[in-house]
Amino acid sequence: MENVLGKTDRALRLCNYSSKTRKAYLLYIKEYINFSKEKGIQDKQKAVEDFLLDKHRRKQAPQTINLALNAVKFLYAEVLKDPQKIDLKFTKRNKRLPIVLSRSEIQEIIQATENAKYRLMISLGYACGLRVSEVVQLKVGDLDIAELVIHIKVAKGKKDRISILSEKLQNDLRNLIAGKNRNDFIFGSNRGGKLTTTSLQKMFRKSLARTKIKKPATFHSLRHSFATHLLENGTDVRYVQELLGHSNIRTTQIYTQVTNPRLKNIKSPL
């Protein structure tokens, strides 16, 4: 087991997988090996099928099952060098619309955040359409405050991108980075280094709880709201795609379902 996991981790690193993906792959591969041994299944195809069916029975999310399948495929193809392919298709994902907050709801959450540093982080998440991990990883050199531009480096998928910055945040950002070097984290922790994504998500939940908003929003809802509000303002969907860093425009087009003005103008017959 340890030998296989060690070889897998090495292969993942050589393929330049992110630490988050490596951790997930190793977890599911360990689960798969234990499952196969416990059930005594020798046939590879049946072992993989039963492993995934067990996840279905336990009502695990389609995204989780797909990730587990990817992990097992990587094990056989890249680590064990098994020439026989796993003949399985990915499970269908749930097509849920994103949770979008209104402009007034976002202002409520920002105002409910008592800590100035966290208040600025939440504001930045919405103003620039950033993921929680992107906010905590921002460095002083990533900002061009005068030009209202922010450079997000090595984001999801190992991609860099450019996003917009709000004029309303210029002074707060200038004050925060005063005296810092280009390579310093903008939002450093009291113990040194960057803040954790967990602490920012926790603060967002606390701020949300202080409001009367009943939506099951998360920090990522700020990114959904950023995209939706840009489309409502008439921004072309392809520009929104670039700002979000989506590889496929179909990912961005889900926001057109949330912001369809023709649907919103239809009156109920009741």
Q: In the CATH hierarchy, which fold is given to the domain comprising 103-261?
A: hpI Integrase; Chain A (1.10.443)
pLDDT tens digit sequence for 104-121: 999 999 999 999 999 999
Rg (CA), the chain: 22
User: Would the CATH topology of 2-79 be identical to that of 103-261?
Assistant: no
**Residue 167 pLDDT:** 94
In the predicted structure, residue 262 carries a pLDDT above the cut 70: no
Please give the CATH number for the structural domain made up of 2-79: 1.10.150.130
DSSP per-residue codes, 173-199: HHHHHTT--TTSBTTB-TTSSBPPHHH
Spatial contact of 237 and 231, defined as CB atoms under 8 Å apart = yes
* DSSP secondary structure letter of residue 233: T
pLDDT tens digit sequence for 232-255: 888 999 999 999 998 888 888 888
Closest CA to 133 of 214, 70, 223, 241: 223
Q: What amino acid positions are annotated as catalytic residues?
A: 131, 156, 220, 223, 246, 255
Domain boundaries, the chain: 2-79, 103-261
pLDDT tens digit sequence for 172-221: 999 999 989 999 999 988 777 788 999 999 999 999 999 999 999 999 99
Mean pLDDT over all residues of the chain? 89
